[in-house]
Homo-oligomer: A and B are copies of this chain.
Amino acid sequence: MSFSKRILVLLPAQEQHQLLLEQSAPGCLFSYSSYKTVTKDQVQDAQIIIGNPPADFVKDSPNLEWLHCNSAGVDAYLKKGILPKGTALTNSTGAYGLAVSEHMLGMLLEIMKRLHTYRDAQKLHVWKGQGKVRSIYNSTVLVLGMGDIGGEFAKKAKALGAYVIGVRRTRGEKPDYADELHLTEELDSLLPRADIVAVSLPETKDTYHLFSRERLALVKEGAVILNVGRGTVIDTEALCDALESGRLFGAGLDVTDPEPLPENHRIWDIPNAVVTPHISGLYHLQETLERVVRIAAENLKRYANGEPLNNVVDFSTGYRMKQ
C-alpha cells in the first residue's frame, strides 16, 4: 500500500517550498495554513503537521501521528495532555543557528560598544562620547547550550578572538571551537571567569530559573549576559537588579519572562538592557525559512520511507535525542 497521509503545513511556504515538500511525500494530501488562521478542525483532521499549531488545538486529536515543529524549542507541546499518546515529535534544530547566533553577536557588540547608548544620543542629535567600551577579542565567553545555536555562537566568538568555554548538560567530545568543555553541574565555578555569558537553553524543569538570584551573584562583575533560549531560564527581577546596580555591564535579551513583555515592565527602561521581542529565530531572515523547509522535507521523505526521523525530541528532557 502506498504512503498516503493528510499533511497540514503551517509554514509561510512559498511555491518552491510547497513543491519541495510535496515531492518529498508523493501521494499525500497537503493543505496549507498558518498558526493564526488554522482552525481546530483542520488541526484535528491532520495525520501529520509540519509547523507549530496552537497547542490546545492538538489536544485529543484522533488522527495525529507526527508533529514536526518549525521551531527548535517545543516546550508548548511537551506539557502533559497536549500530544496524543504515541505521537512522534520532531523539531527544526539546525535551522536557527545562523540567524540567532548573528543576532546574539549583534546584541553583544551593541552592548560592548555602547551602540544602544549612541543610538539614544543620535535620536537627540547629540555628538558626544559615551564612555569605555569592551572587546570580544581576548574576552572569556561562557556558552550555555552547545546545540545548533550555542555552537554557532561559540564558533563566531572563537573566530573573533575570544576564549570559549562550552557548557553542556551531558558529556561529549570538545569541539575545536571551544577551549574548554564542562558540564552544567560545574556552572557555579565557571561563572566568575566569564566576561560574556551566552545562554541558549530550552525551557525544561532543569533550566527554569537556572539563573536564580544566587547564581546571578556569581557572574563576574562587569560581565555581559545574553539570552536567546527561553526567558524563564533567568530570574528576571534579579537580572533587573543586577543591571540597575551596575554589577553587570549589560544584558542582551531576545527572550524575556513574561512574554510579551508588558508595557509597564521595569526592564524596558533599564539603560544597559537591550531587549528584542523574541524575533531572532523568525523568518525575518529568509535563510531561516529555507532551512526549516529543507529540514521538514528531509524528514517527510524519511517518514514516507519508514526511515528513522531526524531531530526526534526526547519527551523527558525536551532536547533532541542523540542520533
| A interface, CB within 8 angstroms of B | 98-99, 102-103, 105-107, 109-110, 112-113, 115-116, 118-123, 125, 127-138, 156, 159-160, 260-261, 263-265, 268-269, 274-277, 279-280, 282, 284-287
Q: Which of B128, B129, B274 contacts A119 (CB 8 A)?
A: B274
Q: Least Cβ distance of A166 to chain B in Å?
A: 18
Residues B122 and A274 in contact, CB atoms below 8 Å apart: yes
- Determine the chain B residues whose CB is within 8 A of the CB of A287 once the complex forms: 135, 137-138
**Alpha-carbon gap, A127 to B255, bound state (A):** 11
- Determine the chain B residues whose CB is within 8 A of the CB of A129 once the complex forms: 277, 279, 282, 284
- Determine the chain B residues whose CB is within 8 A of the CB of A118 once the complex forms: 274-277, 279
- Determine the chain B residues whose CB is within 8 A of the CB of A112 once the complex forms: 102, 106
- Determine the chain B residues whose CB is within 8 A of the CB of A102 once the complex forms: 109, 112-113, 135-137, 160
**Alpha-carbon gap, A132 to B121, bound state (A):** 25
Q: Which of B137, B274, B282 contacts A115 (CB 8 A)?
A: B274
- As for how many copies of this chain the complex holds, the number is 2
**Alpha-carbon gap, A286 to B139, bound state (A):** 13
**Alpha-carbon gap, A134 to B131, bound state (A):** 29
Q: Least Cβ distance of A293 to chain B in Å?
A: 17
Listed from nearest, the 8 A-B pairs whose CB atoms lie closest are A106-B109, A159-B159, A127-B260, A127-B277, A106-B113, A133-B284, A125-B268, A118-B276
**Alpha-carbon gap, A99 to B98, bound state (A):** 25
Known: A113-B280, A133-B284, A133-B285. 20 other contacts (CB 8 A): A98-B135, A102-B109, A102-B137, A103-B133, A115-B116, A116-B119, A118-B276, A118-B279, A119-B119, A120-B123, A122-B275, A123-B123, A125-B269, A128-B277, A129-B277, A129-B279, A129-B284, A132-B286, A135-B287, A137-B287
Q: Which of B119, B280, B285 contacts A134 (CB 8 A)?
A: B285
